Structure 1
Amino acid sequence: MSDELGEQSPLLQSGDGVTPKRSASRDEDATSLLDWYLSKNEQRLDETNVGERLPYSDYSSIDFLHDLVKDSARLRFLRRRPGLRFKLISLLDQASGWIAAAIIGTLTACVAFLVDVAQASVSDWKFGYCSSNPLLSRQSCCAGKTPLLKINDLTSELDNLCESYVLWSEAYTPAFAIYVSFALLFGLLASGVTLLTKRSLPTAAQAPHSEAFSDDTPRPTPTGKVMYMAAGSGIPEIKTILSGFVIPGFLNLKVLVVKAIGAVFAVSTGMCLGKEGPFVHISTCVGYIVAGIFPKYRHNGRKMREMLSAACASGLSVAFGAPIGGVLFSYEEISTHFPRKVLLRAFLCSLCAAVVLKALNPTGTGKLVLFETKYGTPYEPQHYLVFIVLGLAGGVFGGLFCKLNLLWSRWFRGFPFVKRYPVLETCLIVLATTLLQFPNPLIRETGDEVVKNLFVDCNDGAARTAWICKMEAKEGNAYVGWLVYGVLTKLVLTIVTFGVKVPSGVIIPALDGGALFGRLLGQWVTSISPGIFALVGAGAFLAGVSRMTISLAVIMFELTGEVEYITPCMVAILIAKWTADAISAEGVYDVAQTVLGHPFMDLESSMQIVQLQDGCVDDLIPPQQTMDEITVVVPASGVSRQVLEKKRRQLQDRGLMDAGLVLVDEKNMLQGYLAQGELDFGLGTLGQLYPEDAEVRLFDGASETDLDLSVLVDRTPLTILSGAPLEYALEMFAKLGLRYLIINEEGSGKVLGVVIRKRLVAYLDQIKHE
């Protein structure tokens, strides 16, 4: 049983695998699908009688349709049983989804509270400490106290200072050195704990008596893809899981704890990353752990993924204080299966997370809104021209970011020393970040503080003492220079940082770049507050990077509480998406999936690819050798166990852990399908009770001496004709969540082939990059 989602699959994941390009010591980081080639071991396989191999050998998949039938059988059993006991059990079963959603939201908020408070305190240690309580952040230490009036090289550029907060040094150079030292220390800690989650995905073991290799031929040692489970935002992996694939160990308690601790230190370094993406991963881990308590989720991959979709909403809810935006984010950006009941449970989960987080009050403001603003100045029709410019700039930023980050990941992270020593890469990026950001007061602090400072309205009397407002009140071009420097620095540093082996997200850096550019543009539009353009620019830049639309517009509203500026944000977001799509078809999470090599099939984008092809389903038929290996002619007398053992070994030699055997009669007419997991269970576990020469019955009519595997056979596999359009197969896989589909010949109905999900995904990847 998988320890990731509880799927009952005795042979965990390896599929039909072409291995991504590796170095001599096996690349620890999955490379682009474009770089695939056959390893020496796989070339040796090709010289034998072993059939073809497909990509994604380290992943297995679930069958949504079969899980639906399994859940229906469970419900019928509960509701047809008489008595009060089963009536109560049935009622509890119906309420379990709502109970789980509420618990997930509550626990996610508790974890977010701890991360927020710890990160605020740790990041401020780069500047100084609170003399009354070193564990307090600068804001908490100085809350309600008289502001510090003394001005020197450093305090003139830091807000919220008081006598209780002691700077390490008031001189610029020593403060700079201490800042860099603490950032490097935090980078080491963040990367060090992330390495604790290094894990190889399961892969197929060679059969002990494989016929694919002679006695004097060295057999390849199966090694799965190496992943750092807590690295990155986790969103590409979650999208892969929710689409029906399995990544064992990605959502366990260890990853949750490491992700939370690593995010605290990673954000505290000041690198161009945020904790909002990791919050989505953390909430999904909480969802998996909580839902695993309930048997109906623990033993059903489809039901589990429904709860994980709801859990994702609470992650963004606590990240931005945006409960509605969190629900829409899960629907628009992450989930592939989102029925109405999932929407309602995501709503409850996100609501509970927001309520609990507001009560815990990690920011000390008593408000859920993270960057509350009250500009009070309405925009005029001519300002739409500025909003359009912000949208265009955001689209260019996002499109360039996606292209350049992909190139950077392939080039820089292709060096052996970077692959071998990910901590070194982190330290180099931390050093470059601190050296570039500390001299600029606008981007010296962490990303969320940068956004908060740039959104400020200098017309508000309480905000006029802020450093930004003081600079805008002065005459001269120094402040404009800091803004230009900040935009360029954020673009470069975000490109090289995204993908580093620490918990990290790209949402806050994109908001930073957009807010800086919007504030810069606002220096020449004096009729309204430049903070308004910072707000709209932040949304535009994030739209260009992530390609979010509806959910982002709602998030920007919930983030600031500014209802009046929803329309400008919508204009800029839509233009940014159009512009970014024209430059780069893939958003940041799609690029990450390409770099990491995770399988994913999005119906909308995949359909656009298929519609450009003049092909049909017979393009997906496996080679004849493969079909010979996976086809079993089942006579009326039963199948010899030796025949099935041979077929089983052939599947193992090819790594087809996600495949199975097509059962036909003497006329090659379909009789059923036996998945490899069930085949291994039947021959390995059940077969121990029977002699080696026992007949195997795959259909009804088994005697006491026969090994009966009929209960493991799918007698009604879905089929499609070979001449059907490719769009038919894509719709069936995407909307029904199939694991396999049988291809029949037109007219005769004879079996021509079988398509597994990995074959379809690999085919889509191939034609996409042709």
Structure 2
Amino acid sequence: VGGVLFSLEEGASFWNQSLTWRIFFASVVSTFTLNVILSTYHGHPGELTYAGLLNFGKFDNISYDFKELPIFLMMGCIGGLMGSLFNHINYKLTVFRMRYIRRKWLKVLEAALVAAIAAIFGFIMMVSINDCKPLDKDPTLFPIQMHCSDGDYSAVAAIWFQTPESSVKSLFHDPPGSHKFISLGIFFLLYFLLSVCTYGLSVSGGLFIPAILTGAAWGRLAGMSLTTMLPNSTWVDPGKYALVGAAAQLGGTVRMTISLTVILIEATGNITFAFPLMLSLIMAKWTGDIFNEGIYDIHIKLSQVPILQWEPPPLSNKIYASEVMNHAVVVLKTVENVGIIVDILKATPHNGFPVVDPCTEREKVNITEEERAFTIDMRPFMNQSPYTVQHSASLPRVFRLFRALGLRHLTVVNDAHEVVGIVTRKDLARFHVWRHAGRMGVEQLVISDDS
């Protein structure tokens, strides 16, 4: 369900019941296939009860009080600020990569350099911070001794050497007192910078788990701070605030609400905490939108992919279809020469052509090949009732037609109902909304011809 909502909220510019069913069916099939593979991997083939790859452990006794709601809202604001900072730094870094790191060997060198820096700083942190805990209180599956004495393990090394999923689970479920302030603070700072650098590398690194782990680190820090300030309060649980921090950090980065709430509920197995998660995600989105866009929207713009937003650009009522359309319209007659059709298909990059009744005869073309002399009746193949708009139609009207009907092309006609232009998704995607510090405007982008 989380995957279906994610596709709806972020990946689709057109939605209908048929598409919902296809995505849901694909999600169910992929979950079944994953269960078959996991059951075979664990030595129990056919036992289709595994929770999947994204499982952060179930919160058995998690509750919240009315007086905690302002804390959740404040954590959502912090997540929005951290997410907007993440997006800004990553945007600058991605632009630098697109300009200067274009050769293959440079991309490999960059990935190796980032890995080496991460390993160096991680080892420096593990060696320099003394965060040893007794083994009998070890909440991790594979404790690491490092420089600790016999019978102790290093809590810092456990966070670094575990898989990121296991580290998230530790921050969610470790008992109070399992981590030090300085350990989590430095880990949060290093992992935040590391996740900024890795997203956009030529090596697939992902975004969800690094953002969740970063948010869980500062969220648990917030819970530990509350425990120190309110030592006698039974409602303060560091793991609970780690979950809220993870949601706020991820929501402030990707700017999604509904799908992230469902995904985190599915990954933690607790539906009673949906309201706090939704509050923090909404605040993170509102706060982050003041400064910049979500990370996916930023990379879509950088990649010049023509994906339409949910709403038409504001302040665009004075932009008309005649300004948006492509004037170089190639039309076909209702009965056309095969040779002319082949020449048009070879000469034009697009694949949508208005078919019109000719008002004047086309100039005679001297064709020697027998096939080029054949004619084809286009009427059985064409859409005889296409959607059209007047050249004076506004950009919001054209945008809503594309968004609601899932169009690929829209013919523009003049007052005499003659074809004067054609609008495609690329033409609409050029008009992009920018937001910064509470201000907004409309700008025109360059859309790639390969999109």
Name the TM tier (shorter chain).
Answer: 0.7 to 0.9
Contact 2:316 2:396 in 1 (8 A): no
Aligned to 1:332: 9
Contact 1:616 1:724 in 2 (8 A): yes
- Give the Å deviation of 1:430: 0.9
Aligned to 1:520: 221
- Give the Å deviation of 1:494: 1.4
Alignment partners' CA distance in 1, 2:403 and 2:122: 45
- Match of 2:422, SS state, is strand
Alignment partners' CA distance in 1, 2:368 and 2:382: 19
Q: Pick from 717, 735, 738: which aligns with 2:407?
A: 738
Q: In the alignment, is residue 379 of structure 1 matched against residue 64 of structure 2?
A: yes
Q: In the alignment, is residue 717 of structure 1 matched against residue 386 of structure 2?
A: yes
- Give the Å deviation of 1:535: 0.7
Q: C-alpha deviations, 1:293-327, integer Å up to 9, x for none? A: xxxxxxxxxxxxxxxxxxxxxxxxxxxxxxx3223
Q: Residues 457 and 764 of structure 1: is their aligned pair in 2 closer, same or farther, counting only changes over 3 Å?
A: closer
Q: Residues 577 and 523 of structure 1: is their aligned pair in 2 closer, same or farther, counting only changes over 3 Å?
A: same
Q: Residues 423 and 620 of structure 1: is their aligned pair in 2 closer, same or farther, counting only changes over 3 Å?
A: same
User: Which consecutive residues of structure 1, in runs of 5 or more, have no partner in the other structure?
Assistant: 1-323, 460-468, 472-478, 669-682, 700-708
Alignment partners' CA distance in 2, 1:643 and 1:349: 42
- Match of 1:720, SS state, is strand
- Give the Å deviation of 1:483: 1.4
Q: Pick from 354, 359, 374: which aligns with 1:666?
A: 359
Q: In the alignment, is residue 504 of structure 1 matched against residue 205 of structure 2?
A: yes
Alignment partners' CA distance in 2, 1:648 and 1:417: 33
Q: C-alpha deviations, 1:267-318, integer Å up to 9, x for none? A: xxxxxxxxxxxxxxxxxxxxxxxxxxxxxxxxxxxxxxxxxxxxxxxxxxxx
Aligned to 1:591: 298
Q: Residues 547 and 501 of structure 1: is their aligned pair in 2 closer, same or farther, counting only changes over 3 Å?
A: same
Q: Residues 616 and 457 of structure 1: is their aligned pair in 2 closer, same or farther, counting only changes over 3 Å?
A: same
Aligned to 1:761: 429
Q: C-alpha deviations, 1:698-750, integer Å up to 9, x for none? A: 54xxxxxxxxx55555544332111122222212222222232221112x222
- Give the Å deviation of 1:444: 4.0
- Give the Å deviation of 1:552: 1.2
Aligned-partner residue type, residue 402 of structure 2: F
Q: Residues 749 and 739 of structure 1: is their aligned pair in 2 closer, same or farther, counting only changes over 3 Å?
A: same
Q: Pick from 370, 385, 404: which aligns with 1:690?
A: 370
Q: Residues 764 and 745 of structure 1: is their aligned pair in 2 closer, same or farther, counting only changes over 3 Å?
A: farther
Alignment partners' CA distance in 2, 1:405 and 1:394: 16
Q: In the alignment, is residue 544 of structure 1 matched against residue 227 of structure 2?
A: no
- Match of 1:658, SS state, is coil
- Give the Å deviation of 1:332: 2.2
Alignment partners' CA distance in 1, 2:288 and 2:267: 23
Q: In the alignment, is residue 483 of structure 1 matched against residue 184 of structure 2?
A: yes
- Give the Å deviation of 1:507: 0.3
Q: In the alignment, is residue 406 of structure 1 matched against residue 91 of structure 2?
A: yes
Aligned-partner residue type, residue 400 of structure 2: E
Q: Residues 364 and 378 of structure 1: is their aligned pair in 2 closer, same or farther, counting only changes over 3 Å?
A: farther
Contact 1:447 1:508 in 2 (8 A): yes
Q: Residues 358 and 752 of structure 1: is their aligned pair in 2 closer, same or farther, counting only changes over 3 Å?
A: closer
Aligned-partner residue type, residue 594 of structure 1: K
Q: Residues 523 and 688 of structure 1: is their aligned pair in 2 closer, same or farther, counting only changes over 3 Å?
A: farther
Q: Residues 715 and 383 of structure 1: is their aligned pair in 2 closer, same or farther, counting only changes over 3 Å?
A: closer
Aligned to 2:321: 617
Aligned-partner residue type, residue 443 of structure 2: K
- Give the Å deviation of 1:688: 10
- Give the Å deviation of 1:657: 3.4
Aligned to 2:166: 449
- Match of 1:525, SS state, is helix
Aligned-partner residue type, residue 580 of structure 1: G
Aligned to 1:343: 20
Q: Residues 755 and 568 of structure 1: is their aligned pair in 2 closer, same or farther, counting only changes over 3 Å?
A: closer
- Match of 1:435, SS state, is helix
Aligned to 1:601: 308
Alignment of 1:399-478 (within 5 A): 399-416=84-101, 421-438=106-123, 439-440=125-126, 441=156, 442-458=159-175, 469-471=177-179
Alignment partners' CA distance in 2, 1:618 and 1:656: 21
Alignment partners' CA distance in 1, 2:77 and 2:426: 37
- Match of 1:768, SS state, is strand
- Give the Å deviation of 1:577: 0.9
Contact 2:325 2:427 in 1 (8 A): no
Q: Pick from 274, 281, 285: which aligns with 1:577?
A: 285
Q: With the length of structure 2 as denominator, give the TM-score of the two structures.
A: 0.75
- Match of 1:580, SS state, is helix
- Give the Å deviation of 1:756: 3.0
Q: C-alpha deviations, 1:208-235, integer Å up to 9, x for none? A: xxxxxxxxxxxxxxxxxxxxxxxxxxxx
Contact 2:306 2:425 in 1 (8 A): no
Contact 1:357 1:368 in 2 (8 A): no
Aligned to 2:136: none
Contact 1:511 1:538 in 2 (8 A): yes
Alignment partners' CA distance in 2, 1:647 and 1:355: 47
- Give the Å deviation of 1:403: 1.8
Aligned-partner residue type, residue 421 of structure 1: L
Contact 1:433 1:493 in 2 (8 A): yes
Alignment partners' CA distance in 1, 2:338 and 2:283: 63
Alignment partners' CA distance in 2, 1:392 and 1:514: 12
Alignment partners' CA distance in 2, 1:455 and 1:589: 27
Q: Residues 564 and 757 of structure 1: is their aligned pair in 2 closer, same or farther, counting only changes over 3 Å?
A: closer
Contact 1:387 1:536 in 2 (8 A): yes
Q: In the alignment, is residue 529 of structure 1 matched against residue 237 of structure 2?
A: yes
Aligned to 1:186: none
Aligned-partner residue type, residue 263 of structure 2: I
Alignment of 1:55-204 (within 5 A): none
Q: Residues 493 and 457 of structure 1: is their aligned pair in 2 closer, same or farther, counting only changes over 3 Å?
A: closer
Contact 1:518 1:535 in 2 (8 A): yes
Q: Residues 723 and 368 of structure 1: is their aligned pair in 2 closer, same or farther, counting only changes over 3 Å?
A: same
- Give the Å deviation of 1:553: 1.1
Q: Residues 615 and 561 of structure 1: is their aligned pair in 2 closer, same or farther, counting only changes over 3 Å?
A: same
Q: C-alpha deviations, 1:568-611, integer Å up to 9, x for none? A: 21111111111111111x21211221222222123x14x1x155
Q: C-alpha deviations, 1:58-92, integer Å up to 9, x for none? A: xxxxxxxxxxxxxxxxxxxxxxxxxxxxxxxxxxx
Q: Residues 348 and 714 of structure 1: is their aligned pair in 2 closer, same or farther, counting only changes over 3 Å?
A: closer
CA RMSD across the alignment: 3.4
- Give the Å deviation of 1:345: 5.0
User: Which consecutive residues of structure 2, in runs of 5 or more, have no partner in the other structure?
Assistant: 127-155, 228-232, 435-441, 446-451
Q: C-alpha deviations, 1:405-450, integer Å up to 9, x for none? A: 1111111442156565321111111111212233342344332122
Aligned-partner residue type, residue 736 of structure 1: L
Alignment partners' CA distance in 2, 1:559 and 1:342: 25
Q: With the length of structure 1 as denominator, give the TM-score of the two structures.
A: 0.46
Which stretch of the first structure deviates more once superposed, 357-366 or 510-519? 357-366
Alignment partners' CA distance in 1, 2:340 and 2:13: 39
- Match of 1:614, SS state, is coil
Alignment partners' CA distance in 1, 2:340 and 2:245: 65
Identity of aligned pairs, percent? 27
Alignment partners' CA distance in 1, 2:24 and 2:371: 55
